[in-house]
Chain A
Amino acid sequence: MPAILLGGVVFGFGLGLSQMYRPEVVLRFLRLSDLGLLLVMGGASVVAGVVFAVGSRTDRTAPLTGREFGKRVKSMDRNVLLGGGVFGVGWGISGICPGAAYASLGVGNVTILYAVVGMFAGAYLQGYLRSETSAAEQTAEEPA
């Protein structure tokens, strides 16, 4: 847990230094008038990529948890594109994404609570609807 806390602090500090905690800066990128976000995402994913690549090639396991070092590979389906599209609409309207919103709150940007409330409401709505759908599917699958 201390390692996760430390990692989170460095992560949040990075979101501060990169100015991604300001929706204005993200929106400037999305209007293509300042491409800084490319360097942020590029720099972060290269570091993560090198570490994941090295980690997943060793036979060792993580020192604190004994977990195997793997990569983040998720299965492809329609929802990945649909969700990406919906996320894109939200990001384009607000200039805010989850990690940046938490960091922004830390900087003292209380106005960002609107976005945090919105994100929780959206995640709840999504989970609620999918719980209902899967319950309906299970009922339908049961023999009459």
Chain B
Amino acid sequence: MVFETLFPNGWVHYLLGGLLIGAGTAIIYLSTGIIAGASTFLESTLSYVSAKSRFQQYRFRASRDWRVVFTLGIVLGGAAYGLTFGEFGWTTDVQWWRLLVGGLFVGVGTRLGKGCTSGHGVCGVGSLSETSLLNVATFVGVAVGTAQIVAALGVTP
């Protein structure tokens, strides 16, 4: 069956997880009017410690406190999930240098491109923003290509 080929590990938890991610965004939006993305946290948090003009922009200083709270919420949500479903303490097998180097690119890329998978991918696509649609198409395309190359080079996991 086609569905099982496309989703060999099932599909219900993917959809439910996605709906919850959307619900989290909706709770924040409906109560505060804030459209929350996850990656600006990086820059706004750096504004606490760096005097560089880039980080001291008003929009980062003004939002940095709630962004810390939002991120703390995500961490707690992950913990609640792990404890509920007995996956707490799971660790990835992906090699440390892949996480570090990949993280570095992700850090540069999300800030240069004004958003990440949640900012552009969820909130921007949800707003039908052309900028976000183009950004998402770019990063998904490039990421698929990169992952294929990494796999073809025989890097596992």
Q: Is the CB of B73 within 8 A of A7?
A: yes
Nearest first, the 8 A-B pairs at minimum CB distance are A8-B73, A122-B107, A83-B113, A12-B77, A94-B102, A118-B103, A18-B17, A92-B146
- Residues facing B in A39-68 (CB within 8 A) are 39-52, 55, 61-68
Q: Which residues of A contact B36 (CB under 8 A)?
A: 4, 7-8, 11
A73 to chain B: closest residue by CB: B129
Q: Which residues of A contact B131 (CB under 8 A)?
A: 73-76, 80
In angstroms, Cα B2 to Cα A87, docked, is: 31
Q: Is the CB of B55 within 8 A of A127?
A: yes
Q: Which residues of B contact A140 (CB under 8 A)?
A: none
In angstroms, Cα B39 to Cα A94, docked, is: 16
Given contacts A24-B92, A86-B112, contact A73 B106 (CB under 8 A): no
Total A residues in contact with B, Cβ cutoff 8 Å: 117
Q: Is the CB of B22 within 8 A of A48?
A: yes
Q: Is the CB of B126 within 8 A of A46?
A: yes
Q: Is the CB of A49 within 8 A of B126?
A: yes
Interface residues on B, range: 35 or more
In angstroms, Cα B130 to Cα A130, docked, is: 25
Mark each residue of chain B from 97 to 133: 1 if its CB lies under 8 Å from any CB of chain A, else 0: 1111111111111111111111111111111111110
* CB<8 Å pairs between A and B, sample of 26: A13-B80, A16-B82, A34-B7, A35-B6, A37-B14, A39-B14, A48-B123, A51-B126, A52-B123, A80-B135, A82-B112, A83-B135, A84-B113, A85-B139, A86-B105, A87-B110, A88-B146, A96-B103, A96-B106, A97-B110, A103-B77, A106-B77, A106-B82, A111-B91, A114-B103, A118-B107
Given contacts A65-B33, A96-B99, A122-B104, contact A74 B21 (CB under 8 A): no
Q: Is the CB of A103 within 8 A of B13?
A: no
Mark each residue of chain A from 104 to 134: 1 if its CB lies under 8 Å from any CB of chain B, else 0: 1111111110111111111111111011001
